[in-house]
């Protein structure tokens, strides 16, 4: 009895010190009301380029529903900095700001650099350079107020017909994808931002876009273990901060509920089996793959194991609906179920603690103020520009020997995308792909004096529309056997062309990719006499 009395005396003597030793996250959590805790779960879209009514909608969300996070959409650097400074100043608790910057800020932001997409980086295969681009993306993201990059994509794109992943994935080999994911995670984290591997349990082998419908992944569990899960396991080993769920029906895991709403998937596998202790972020809960009401979806995602309930869109009416209807309805539904005991407040405290600890780790409790000074020059630094050029240069794939054609005179035929061509690639015919190029070439007879033709093919559309190329264009490419094919788009398009001659793959319709391909042609001593109309 005396011993217990002494323990109480010691505790009360140390109580002020213990309070001082509390972290900001712990102290803040202990002071939050139920309403405020629920608000910390939500991550709605914020669009800095929208008008004042959008800002008012956000002010209402922060004041009435205590929203604690945002995902950025349409923006430019200066507008975003001003918007976020205003948004943060209106919130008692700093907001965690996320963005999709898979290949850099340009994925969502004007006036910024677009680095190569993951398919290009995966083909390059240089893990040190992937680390460097991750670090540069992280540096730029931090400067414009982004704390959590919803990247890298960890899907293994084993299905060339995949309508939503494609060039966003590092490749088709799970070991190679895992190595690239790890390098990108390390790079971005070195710049002081949080990372998010997506889309668990694996969106790579789907033929349906989950923005529009619910994809089915029919594979057995052993296949998931050896392919889809591999990059996520590696990301967890590397200390990835968050993992995003996918809206998929995977019967081997759960035959009734999509992954985002599946306890078996997010808690049973991701938390318990794979040992992930970070933030689980839902993919956008307003996507059409989820057919329930906003109330049912939000409650289901939380019950499954999500910590952050994300909503996103690119169209103003849909964004307005999310802010004015979906999020308030979901927030109220969660509150009702916490109040009546259907949902556990202990579980809520666990999620909110993770979110607050992430904010504390980023130093957001100290300051969220962003500086506009020198932002344009910093986002287009010489180092960043050089890195981008080097990445495209290292990524070019050369098959065959262009110099084997030994042309004395080479014509350049450019198909697709004339607005984005570099000056180096002047067109024989610069016309949109839907024009009858083949007939024009046959009638003009302008190629008869040339020893070879270099065909620059610029990807111009999705796979379901033959990457933007008409049957006439495809026939033309097939009809020129003595040609060098320069492909500025996904290699999946090669299934259309069946080109037997030399091939240069630049992967993307980017001026730096074009310059990289041109430099190889020059090194191969191919004469670059350009034929014009």
Phi and psi at 259, nearest 5°, equal -55, -40
Name the active-site residue from 76, 126, 173, 211: 211
Residue with tokens 């034929």: 531
Name the active-site residue from 283, 313, 326, 510: 283
Name the residue among 90, 46, 53, 41 with its Cα closest to residue 319. 46
The helix (run of H) or strand (run of E) holding residue 242 is: strand 242-245
Tokens matching residue 221: 């569990």
DSSP labels for 29-94? HHH--HHHHHHTTEE-EE-TTS-HHHHHHHHHHHHHH---EEEE-SB-HHHHHHHHHHHHHT-SSP
Task: Count CB neighbours of 445 within 10 A.
Answer: 8
**Distance between CA atoms of 502 and 486, rounded to whole angstroms?**
9
- 380 included as an active-site residue: no
**Distance between CA atoms of 344 and 434, rounded to whole angstroms?**
58
Residue with tokens 């990372």: 195
What SS3 state is found at 178?
Answer: helix
**Distance between CA atoms of 250 and 202, rounded to whole angstroms?**
10
- 283 included as an active-site residue: yes
What SS3 state is found at 109?
Answer: strand
Does residue 201 have a cis bond before it (omega within 30 degrees)?
yes
Q: Is residue 160 within 8 Å of residue 115, measured between CB atoms?
A: no
Tokens matching residue 160: 């060339």
Name the residue among 302, 285, 303 with its Cα closest to residue 294. 285
Q: Which residues are catalytic?
A: 211, 283
């Amino acid at each position: 009895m005396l011993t217990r009395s002494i323990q109480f005396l010691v505790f009360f003597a140390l109580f002020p010190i213990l309070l001082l030793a509390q972290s900001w996250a712990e102290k803040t959590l202990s002071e939050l009301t139920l309403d405020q805790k629920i608000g910390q779960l939500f991550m709605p879209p914020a669009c800095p380029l929208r008008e004042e009514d959008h800002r008012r909608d956000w002010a209402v969300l922060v004041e009435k529903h205590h929203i604690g996070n945002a995902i950025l959409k349409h923006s430019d650097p200066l507008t975003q900095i001003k918007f976020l400074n205003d948004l943060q100043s209106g919130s008692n608790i700093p907001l965690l700001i996320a963005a999709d910057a898979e290949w850099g800020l340009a994925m969502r932001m004007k006036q910024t650099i677009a680095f190569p997409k993951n398919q290009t980086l995966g083909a390059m295969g240089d893990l040190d350079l992937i680390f460097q681009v991750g670090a540069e993306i992280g540096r730029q993201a931090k400067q414009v107020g982004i704390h959590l990059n919803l990247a890298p994509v960890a899907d293994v794109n084993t299905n060339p017909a995949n309508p939503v992943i494609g060039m966003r994935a590092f490749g088709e080999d799970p070991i190679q994808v895992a190595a690239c994911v790890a390098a990108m995670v390390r790079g971005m984290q070195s710049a002081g931002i949080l990372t998010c591997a997506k889309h668990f349990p694996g969106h790579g082998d789907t033929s349906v876009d989950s923005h529009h419908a619910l994809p089915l992944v029919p594979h057995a569990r052993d296949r998931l273990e050896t392919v889809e899960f591999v990059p996520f396991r590696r990301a967890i080993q590397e200390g990835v901060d968050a993992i995003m769920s996918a809206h998929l029906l995977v019967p081997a895991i759960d035959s009734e509920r999509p992954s985002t709403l599946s306890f078996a998937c997010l808690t049973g596998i991701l938390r318990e089996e794979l040992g992930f202790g970070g933030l689980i972020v839902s993919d956008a809960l307003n996507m059409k793959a989820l057919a329930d009401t906003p109330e049912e979806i939000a409650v289901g995602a939380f019950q499954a194991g999500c910590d952050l309930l994300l909503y996103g869109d690119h169209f103003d009416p849909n964004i307005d609906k999310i802010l004015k209807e979906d999020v308030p309805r979901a927030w109220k539904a969660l509150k009702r179920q916490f109040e009546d005991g259907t949902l556990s407040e202990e579980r809520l405290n666990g999620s909110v603690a993770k979110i607050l600890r992430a904010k504390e780790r980023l130093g957001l409790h100290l300051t969220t103020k962003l500086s506009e000074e020198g932002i344009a020059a910093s986002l287009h630094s010489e180092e960043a520009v050089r890195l981008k050029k080097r990445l495209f240069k290292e990524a070019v794939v050369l098959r065959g020997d262009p110099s084997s054609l030994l042309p004395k005179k080479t014509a350049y035929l450019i198909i697709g995308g004339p607005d984005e061509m570099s000056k180096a690639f002047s067109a024989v015919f610069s016309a949109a792909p839907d024009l009858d190029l083949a007939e024009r070439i046959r009638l003009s007879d302008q190629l008869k004096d040339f020893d070879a033709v270099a065909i620059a093919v610029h990807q111009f559309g999705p796979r379901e529309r033959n990457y933007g190329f008409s049957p006439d264009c495809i026939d033309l490419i097939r009809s020129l056997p003595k040609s060098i094919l320069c492909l500025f788009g996904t290699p999946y398009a090669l299934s259309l062309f069946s080109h037997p001659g030399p091939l240069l793959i630049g992967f993307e319709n980017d001026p730096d990719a074009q310059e990289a391909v041109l430099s190889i042609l020059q090194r191969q001593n191919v004469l670059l006499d350009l034929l014009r109309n």
